[in-house]
Amino acid sequence: MKHLDESQIALASRGDLSGFANLRARLHLTFCKTCRDRVAEYRQDQQRVKSAVAAFELPRSMKWDELEAEMFGNIRLGLEVEEIHRDAGQVSPVVVQHEAMSWRGLAAAGAMTAIVITGWFLTGPGAQSYLRHGPSAIAQVRSGAVVLRGDEHGVGLENRGTGLMLRNVSAPAGRFEVSLDGSVRASAVDQDSGQVTVSQVYVE
């Protein structure tokens, strides 16, 4: 008996075979355990893909709602600063800068943007790894095996390969403070609720 080929199995697993090919495949699968198992494996893989996709979470920096709110906030703020400058009889330095920008400046800005975007995609969500020691640390407290850390992602504590981290409630990094009694604190404003949330880790 000739087995179904890989493409037929893949299509059969999704019910995508049509007409006579579908009828022939169904008949074959009734009698052939090997091909039935292969179809079952394909279906399991499809299920895993669905679950993995469902579990995938966009990094905070890619939350469109937050990005949009951030962008509009900054535009609005820029306009207000300009208005204040105008009221005071000054020309906004921002406006001067725009008028003076040449095509070379625009090209340089475009190149910089491309570098930043490429850099983000190269480092990607993996760069959000918190429990990785690096130069980005803003605050750190060490007491024996316990290490407290605060960086742009939040505050956390580690002890011999285990750790707990409280991540910032909003994308822009909040404030950080080290307390010399052995604690690190971060505060950020949650964009959904408008609440200011303080996360703190302590050495016991």
- Determine if 58 is a binding residue for other proteins (CB under 8 A): no
Tell me the two tokens of residue 140: 């750190």
Helix axes 93-100, 64-87, angle to 10 degrees: 110
- Longest CA–CA separation in the chain, Å: 90
CB of 163 to other proteins, least distance (A): 4
The residue type found at 72 is F
- Determine if 25 is a binding residue for other proteins (CB under 8 A): no
From CA 155, how far away is CA 176, in angstroms rounded?
9
Residue 151 host element (H or E)? strand 146-151
Q: How many residues contact other proteins, by CB under 8 A?
A: 72
CB of 49 to other proteins, least distance (A): 8
- Determine if 52 is a binding residue for other proteins (CB under 8 A): yes
- Determine if 181 is a binding residue for other proteins (CB under 8 A): yes
The residue type found at 62 is M
From CA 124, how far away is CA 185, in angstroms rounded?
27
Among 22, 120, 152, 182, binds other proteins (CB under 8 A): 182
CB of 193 to other proteins, least distance (A): 6
From CA 197, how far away is CA 186, in angstroms rounded?
8
Interacting residues with other proteins between 151 and 170 (CB under 8 A): 154-159, 161-169
- Determine if 13 is a binding residue for other proteins (CB under 8 A): no
Site string for other proteins, 111-150 (x = CB under 8 A): ------------------xxx---x-xxxxxxxxxx-x--
Interacting residues with other proteins between 82 and 101 (CB under 8 A): 84, 87
- Determine if 198 is a binding residue for other proteins (CB under 8 A): yes
Residue with tokens 């703020």: 77
